[in-house]
Amino acid sequence: MTTQFWADADRHLVRYLGAGTFTREIIDRASGSFLYTEDGRKILDFTSGQMSAILGHSHPEIVATVQRQVASLDHVFSGMLTRPVVDLARKLAQTQPLEKALLVTTGAESNEAALRLAKLVTGKHEIVSFARSWHGMTQAAASATYSAGRKGYGPAVPGNFAIPVPAGPAWQNQLDLAFDLIDAQSVGSLAACIVEPILSSGGVIDPPLGYLAALRAKCRERGMLLVLDEAQTGLCRTGTWYAFQRDNVVPDILTLSKTLGAGLPLAAVLTTPEIEQEAHDRGFLFLTTHVSDPLVAAVGNTVLDVLTRDHLDDRATQLGATLRTGLDTIATRHPAVTDIRGRGLLAGLELAAIGDHSADLLGATVTQRCLELGLHMNIVQLPGMGGVFRIAPPLTVTDEELALGLAILDEALTDATKRLGL
């Protein structure tokens, strides 16, 4: 049966992973921090699925919510409202300063809506984002994405500009120069800047304290809106409810996705009453099949309830310190590990080339060995920066599970260097 499964997969599925390939495991079920394969293997999930399952897999309260909600009210006409939708909008407003919410399905869709909103409200069309950004694969989101996927698809949306990711103590000078170049290229229609408070697909890069405030000032000088994409950093993962809270900066528009549905397709666009009113006055249109769906909204309510009740922001801080200590210890044992970074339970471990072997090859070898040993890891490979493991276990992970993952990673690094003859 396994042979037939892969034959069917190879014959019938569109391959959508760029140059990557599907993991050659048949995942049968998942529970807590673990995935279970059809042949009985147990795999510790250090990526929370697609960086989404912050409460672990098959959390009993999420399961109960889905079962209850799907049996009573799953989907309605897009112009109708239900209690789960209004409840979630209210609860989201209680977690941060932006009071107005639009509920959609994916991160790309939320960023698409945010950029559409910004363009309509400002009456302008130019968008600025980081050169290592990832905001999604739909039209406007993909045009603001620079870490991958730009070649071969024809023209991007006109008016998109990239600025460098802040690096080193001279970040203010870099930012000044970046906007000098933006001003030189702009046709006078700068609408918004969209950035991740911590770049995840870009290599788990955390801009220095003060950067977001300086970026917001650049936006204000030009009449631009600041859009923060907290798909992976929002809802307690970094040790605060939102990553932007560390910087005491409030965006004009905030997008949430992945973590909001804890693995189910739910995303949100949050903004101010003033921006929402101006958009409404101008006829804002973002009508989708699954806007304001009650089923996933009910799940979002449960997610927020669990995060609040169980103080998972504090838990992410505590377990993040444990994770960081373990990764620092690994770094002392393996010369290929050149940097550990991140916040809370979002960590990055960077590998460098050793001898004639590239960081990409080393990273791929470590990833494969981790999987063989029972740990799922994700490595970011971008030109010029080597390989960076993105480590984002569920916020419900235990100390014992963290210790297991760290031990497997340590062993995999040792085995990978031996395999490569290092």
> 358 by DSSP, 3-state: which?
coil
In a shared domain, residues 178 and 219: yes
**Secondary element (H or E) of residue 379:** strand 378-381
pLDDT tens, position by position, 236-247: 999 999 999 999
* pLDDT band at 422; cut points 50, 70, 90: low
Q: Are residues 286 and 368 in the same domain?
A: no
pLDDT digits 0-9 by tens, 11-60 = 999 999 988 899 999 999 999 999 999 999 999 999 999 999 999 999 99
Amino acid at 13: L
pLDDT band at 394 (very low <50, low <70, confident <90, very high): very high
For a pLDDT cut of 90, what percent of the chain falls above it? 92
Whole-number pLDDT of residue 383? 65
CA 211 to chain centre: 20
- Does pLDDT of 93 surpass 70? yes
The residues that are catalytic are: 134, 196, 229, 232, 258, 390
Is 92 strand, coil or helix? Answer: helix
Is the domain of 244 the same as that of 321? no
Collapsing DSSP to helix, strand or coil, 376 comes out as: strand
Arithmetic mean of pLDDT, 354-378? 91
Instruction: Say yes or no: 340 and 297 in one domain.
Output: no
Q: What is the pLDDT of residues 168-190, one digit of tens each?
A: 999 999 999 999 999 999 999 99
Instruction: Find the CATH number of the domain harbouring 396.
Output: 3.90.1150.10
Query: Is residue 51 located within the same domain as residue 84?
Result: no
422 or 90, which is more confident: 90
Based on the fold, state whether residues 188 and 263 are members of the same structural domain. yes
Domain residue limits at 103: 61-309
Chain centroid offset of residue 250 CA: 19
> Among residues 302, 317, 334, which one has the least CA distance to residue 409?
334
Residues 242 and 364 in one domain: no
**Rounded Cα–Cα distance for residues 355 and 341 (Å):** 24
**In this structure, are 75 and 100 located in the same domain?**
yes
> Measured in whole angstroms, how far is the alpha carbon of residue 254 from the centre of its chain?
13
Full-prediction pTM beyond 0.95?
yes
pLDDT at 263 > cutoff 80: yes
Same structural domain, 240 and 171: yes
Question: What pLDDT score does 386 carry?
Answer: 62
Mean pLDDT of 222-236: 98
| Judgement on whether residues 16 and 72 belong to the same structural domain of the protein | no
CA distances from residue 327 to 74, 143, 203, 399, 409 in whole angstroms, order as listed: 43, 35, 16, 14, 9
Indicate the residue type of 363: G
Contact predicate 37/23, CB 8 Å: no
Looking at the predicted structure, is the pLDDT value of residue 380 above 90? no
Are 263 and 386 found together in one domain? no
pLDDT tens digits for range 267-312:
999 999 999 999 999 999 999 999 999 999 999 999 999 999 999 9
pLDDT higher than 70, residue 104: yes
| Overall average pLDDT of the 200-229 stretch | 97
Instruction: Give me the pLDDT at residue 354, please.
Output: 81
Residue that finishes a domain, picked among 275, 309, 343 = 309
The pLDDT value recorded for residue 65 is: 98
Residue 381 has pLDDT above 80, yes or no: no
* 91 shares a domain with 16: no
Check whether 218 has a pLDDT greater than 90.
Answer: yes
Would the pLDDT of 334 be above 80? yes
Look at residue 382 and tell me whether its pLDDT is greater than 80: no
Looking at the structure of the chain, the number of domains it has is: 2
Final residue before a domain boundary, out of 267, 282, 309? 309
pLDDT digits (tens, 9 = 90+) for 112-169: 999 999 999 999 999 999 999 999 999 999 999 999 999 999 999 999 999 999 989 9
Instruction: Evaluate if residue 234 carries a pLDDT over 90.
Output: yes
Mean pLDDT of 344-351: 97
Of 309, 342, 360, the residue at which a domain comes to its end is 309
The domain that contains 120 carries what CATH number? 3.40.640.10
CB 259 within 8 A of CB 54: yes
* pLDDT score for 80: 98
Residue 419 has pLDDT above 90, yes or no: no
Residue 385 predicted with pLDDT over 70: no
